[in-house]
Amino acid sequence: MKSSSVIRRAVVRRAVLVATAVALAAGCTAQAGGTGRGTVGPAPTSAAPAPTQSATGDDKPSSSGTPSTGTPSASASTEPPKAKALMDDGDENTQVRELQARLRQVGYFDRAPTGFYGTMTAGAVKAFQKKRGLPQTGTVDETTWQKLKAMTHEPTADELRPATTNKLDAPDPRCLTGRVLCISKESRTLAWMIDGKVVSSLDVRFGSENTPTREGEFKVEWKAREWTSTIYHTPMPYAMFFSRGQAVHYSADFAARGYAGASHGCVNVRDKGKLAVLFDQVKVGDKVVVHW
């Protein structure tokens, strides 16, 4: 019989062999530790190389020839770019005045040029574009401008700034009853109306963007045949005040420079003779309507 010590050594050796076999089957290896004792850790696994990524974010084929899985980029839009507007609603400059004068030459603008691009100018441009088979945008692009210039001549000084009064637009509904100073920012006109009928009309000018003329319905609060502004110290003949210091009055600057200037909020008139007649007709308490 074998001694007990021999049997114990055989049992231990068998146990070691079994443990080693199990570890190898699980994919682990012994790693050296700082204490000199072996530790068990995961072995590297075999895997296909990961695809590389380009600067655009698309996957490149792997070295094994695997096709890219990146999403194709969207195709470029085929819609043509919109034409750049040279003149548009709200613009106010000498080019708009020239546009209006040229449209007037070919019968699309039936009033004196003002230099302001409003709804009436947009309507005239649309009508011109429709007749010429152009997109009816109501704004002036390069194509519209060149076609108009080809049909017209360079406006003269009289065509750009005619002496005649600006043509009135349709009156605001609030102007159709009673005695009213009906003032339109759109056509830059003042119409003196009684019970819906126009008695007389005048060209007018308004405040700048920084000192705008207030819009709404007011009443003539008081009148002064001769008055000098207490703020700006400028003469205001035939002043008819209607809104906290804003008044209809004659302006020598408007008469001299036209629409190249602006008021400090008042409604300027450039025809002193016609305003003098109107001043005598208007009464304190008469309605004033300032509108677009």
Q: Are 175 and 182 in contact (CB under 8 A)?
A: yes
Q: Mean pLDDT for the chain?
A: 80
**Matching residue, tokens 């010590």:** 5
Digit-coded pLDDT (tens) for 110-141: 877 878 898 889 999 999 999 999 999 999 99
Digit-coded pLDDT (tens) for 256-292: 788 888 999 999 999 999 999 999 999 999 999 999 9
CA distance 145 to 157: 20
CB atoms closer than 10 angstroms to residue 239: 22
Contacts of 147 (CB under 8 A, 6+ apart): 132, 134
Q: Pick from 160, 165, 171, 113: which is nearest to 278 by CA?
A: 165
pTM of the model: 0.50
Tokens at residue 153, please? 């001549």
Tokens at residue 118, please? 């409003």
Please give the pLDDT value at position 88.
Answer: 94
